[in-house]
Amino acid sequence: MELWYSEEQTANVRLSLKVKEQLFSGESEFQRVDVFDTYEYGRLMTLDGLVMVTEKDEFIYHDMIVHIPMAVNPSIKKALIIGGGDGGTARELLRYKGIDHVDMVEIDKMVCDVAKEFFPTISNELNNPKLSLYYEDGVAYMKGKSNLYDLIIIDSTDPVGPGEGLFTSEFYTDCFNALTENGILVNQNESPVYEEFAKEAVRANEKLKKIFPIVEVYQAQIPTYPSGYWLFGFASKALHPTKDFKPQEWNRLNLTTRYYNTELHLGAFALPTYVKEYIENG
Ligand code: SAM
């Protein structure tokens, strides 16, 4: 009998992946965590039935959430990851020799434990001595922090369940206060294709614009996320993602990447007209 994993991406759209076997299923205090071995995408982790990472396309998301801000300010020293329990964002950040320290605040220890057991190529830096891992709610962690981080990456689930508070103005204000003067915040910002996701992207963008002087949206093609077309938010106190972008400096670091490159960096901010209109007009 064939085994398929199906994600209901919207009420009218599903993504189905043929599965060799299910490797793990557990219920944490916060969510259900499942791991499947799929034919096309390798191992897949889902949270509450929604795709989080697959071995085959995780590099796209992690390249784009890390290397875009790092190429705008390659001198970033202190970074914070909110969420990111699979470890992919930490892995990419810790490739930069100039990074002194990364704090990571993941609400659900089970996600990290499962990643360590089933996704060694993604979670392999979670024990790096430059990383401090806190199992806490990111919203509570951010309260009262001031002038601490050069970069905050919000690698969250969707704005439902434990991730909901990570899409609020209060949380973005706490992040603003926690950033240093050239500080950058990056967040995953849903898909513009399906209305329910697009609305969230627009709302997040509007909230960020009320708090940060520089706010831009960028894009990537991620096959296993709803519609395969994903947006990210870039917000900064002082640095513009294309005008302050430092391609030569980044290229001198000689990091090999499979998705990100410095030509793609500019293209990622060149949004299709319908997306621009949606973001501007809601
Ligand atoms: N790449 C994924 C995507 O866009 O579908 C998201 C990555 S997944 C690693 C996001 C992580 O955020 C999960 O491990 C989840 O437990 C964590 N998370 C959700 N809400 C959180 C909160 N309030 N504080 C800290 N971490 C949270």
- pLDDT tens, position by position, 98-135: 999 999 999 999 999 999 999 999 999 999 999 999 99
CA distance 77 to 271: 30
Q: How far is the CA of 183 from the centre of ligand 1 (A)?
A: 22
Reported as a pLDDT band with limits 50, 70 and 90, residue 258 is very high
Structure confidence by residue, pLDDT tens digits, 31-40: 999 999 999 9
Query: Which domains, from first to last, does the chain contain?
Result: 4-54 (2.30.140.10), 57-281 (3.40.50.150)
Minimal-distance CA residue to ligand 1 atom 9: 84
pLDDT of 282 over the 80 cut: no
pLDDT at 203: 87
Whether the predicted pLDDT of 44 surpasses 90: yes
State in Å: Cα 157 to ligand 1 middle: 4
Instruction: Write down the pLDDT at residue 95.
Output: 98
In the three-class reduction of DSSP (H, G, I as helix; E, B as strand; rest coil), residue 280 is classed as: helix
Q: Mind giving me the DSSP string for 144-210?
A: T--S-EEEEEEE---SSGGGGGGGSHHHHHHHHHHEEEEEEEEEE---SSSHHHHHHHHHHHHHHHH
Is 137 labelled as part of a ligand binding site? yes
pLDDT digits (tens, 9 = 90+) for 135-177: 999 999 999 999 999 999 999 988 888 888 999 999 999 999 9
CA dihedral 71, 257, 107, 125 (to 10 degrees): -110
pLDDT value at residue 1: 87
The answer to pTM > 0.95 is yes
Decide: helix, strand or coil at residue 263.
Answer: helix
More confident residue, 154 or 197: 154
Q: What is the CB < 6 Å shell around ligand 1? A: 47, 52-53, 61, 82-86, 105-108, 111, 137-139, 155-157, 162-163, 165-166, 188
Does position 280 have pLDDT exceeding 90, yes or no? no
* Percent of the chain surpassing pLDDT 90: 89
**pLDDT at residue number 207:** 94
Q: What is the mean pLDDT of residues 232-245?
A: 98
Cβ neighbours of 45 (radius 10 Å): 25
Stretch 212-233: mean pLDDT: 97
Active-site residues, by number, are 155
Of the pLDDT bands very low, low, confident and very high (cuts 50, 70, 90), residue 51 is very high
Task: Kindly tell me the sign of the dihedral angle through the C-alpha atoms of 9, 57, 108, 76.
Answer: negative
Q: How much is the pLDDT for 79? A: 98
Residues 205-219 as b/e (b if ≥16 CB within 10 A, e otherwise) read: bebbeebbebbbbbb
Q: Which residues contact 77 (CB under 8 A, 6 or more apart)?
A: 98, 99, 100, 101, 150
Burial classification of residue 15, based on how many CB atoms lie within 10 Å of its CB (0-12 exposed, 13-18 middle, 19 or more buried)? middle
Contact 117, 146 (CB under 8 A): no
Q: Is 278 helix (H, G, I), strand (E, B) or coil?
A: helix
- Per-residue pLDDT at 202: 85
Residue type, 129: P
pLDDT of residue 67: 98
Q: Which atom of ligand 1 is nearest to the CA of 161?
A: 20
| Contact indicator for 240, 279 with CB cutoff of 8 Å | no
Per-residue pLDDT at 150: 98
